[in-house]
Amino acid sequence: MRIGIDIGGTKILVGVVDETGTIIHKVKILTDAKNSYVCVRDDIVNTVDSVLKECELHKKDIERIGIASAGQIDKKTHNIVFSPNLGWHNVPLKQDFEKIFGIETFIENDVNAATYGEWKFGLNSAPDDVVGIFVGTGIGGGLIINRKLYRGFTNVGGELGHITVNPYGYKCNCGNHGCLEAYCGGSYIVGRVQEKIKSGYRGRIWDIIGGNVDILHTGHIEEAYLSGDEFCVYAWREVIEYMGAAMASIVNLINPEVIILGGGVVYGTRYFVDDIRDVMEKRAMPASIRGLKIEKAKLSEDAAIMGAVFTEAESARARGRGFRGSRGRAQGEKAGKR
């Protein structure tokens, strides 16, 4: 058995996962970003304790703990260098967990973990090269290259959301101008349409949201676009063009077999995936998209937990430290169930 933990800005998921990748028990707790690191850490520790009790498991039954966290994970110390949603700087969560539980603990960037989880458990095939793009409030990316999670020189590789798609474009939260995230991240798109409405614009979008800008999400904007709302046609077309163009660049660079698309904008809209695929296919080099599949992420909130409990474990196995749940076996068992 393994414990998987996904630390988000507002909630933390703790799951017990067996060797085949089945979550046998899962608990969600709310977090307050205003609380200190120690306070949040102790909340997670208490939740793990109670999950073990509920499953009638002991510490000795748990072979490893995998933690998915936003932000950069230091390559040497494994500290969380900076977690933007909790305001943590250089916190030793892995070491603290190993001290408290006496169980080997691994920590992974949350989008990397989600990409890995989707690759390992969400796909019907077992492709060698996969790109994960998660379009939520911002945009996160993960790369599987030659069946391994690609982390880069200092562990911050795969930041697809911060590819510059227009050097003179919108301001991004990272400080740069013209990042893909600034064009296609849900909070940025919604922010632009909200601003337009607040400045007095009244189109079809106004009726769709009943005059309440606070409820606006990208599904509304797509709906208004489809019904010909002048500003939303401009705003949503921009999203589709920039996202499709960025994907064309990504496939030209990586030449993946599968692109996994997840996140609220992907799930909350009707034609986003089809529309961006059309743009990508027009812009990419034909050889880069031959045989390419685009799949929607299937594991939802479980993806990061699943990735966190399996990624480092496999790196450890690759280093010859031995690990029972090999990829081949886990995939085989899963395929057998289908």
Task: Please give the residue ranges that form the binding site for Zn ion (CB under 5 A).
Answer: 162, 172, 174, 176, 179
Question: How far apart are alpha carbons 253 and 269 in whole angstroms?
Answer: 27
From the CB of 141, what's the least distance to Zn ion, in Å?
Answer: 12
Which residue, 46 or 154, has its beta carbon nearer to Zn ion? 154
Helices (H), the chain: 37-54, 93-101, 110-117, 180-184, 186-198, 204-208, 218-226, 230-254, 264-267, 272-283, 286-289, 303-318, 327-337
Q: Which amino acid is at 329?
A: R
Tokens of 236: 């949503």
From the CB of 245, what's the least distance to Zn ion, in Å?
Answer: 16
Which residue, 66 or 158, has its beta carbon nearer to Zn ion? 158
Residue 12: Cβ-neighbour burial (10 angstroms; 0-12, 13-18, 19+): buried
From the CB of 70, what's the least distance to Zn ion, in Å?
Answer: 15
Which residue, 105 or 109, has its beta carbon nearer to Zn ion? 109
From the CB of 172, what's the least distance to Zn ion, in Å?
Answer: 3
From the CB of 242, what's the least distance to Zn ion, in Å?
Answer: 13
Instruction: Report which secondary-structure segment, H or E, holds 263.
Output: none
From the CB of 166, what's the least distance to Zn ion, in Å?
Answer: 12
Residue pair 194/216 in contact (Cβ under 8 Å)? The answer is yes
From the CB of 179, what's the least distance to Zn ion, in Å?
Answer: 3
Which residue, 160 or 205, has its beta carbon nearer to Zn ion? 160
Question: How far apart are alpha carbons 243 and 275 in whole angstroms?
Answer: 10
Other CB atoms within a 10 A radius of the CB of residue 217 amount to 17
Residue 154: Cβ-neighbour burial (10 angstroms; 0-12, 13-18, 19+): exposed
Which residue, 169 or 264, has its beta carbon nearer to Zn ion? 169
Which residue, 70 or 197, has its beta carbon nearer to Zn ion? 70
Tokens 């120690």, located at residue: 38
Closest alpha carbon to 132 in 159, 152, 96: 159
Which residue, 81 or 174, has its beta carbon nearer to Zn ion? 174
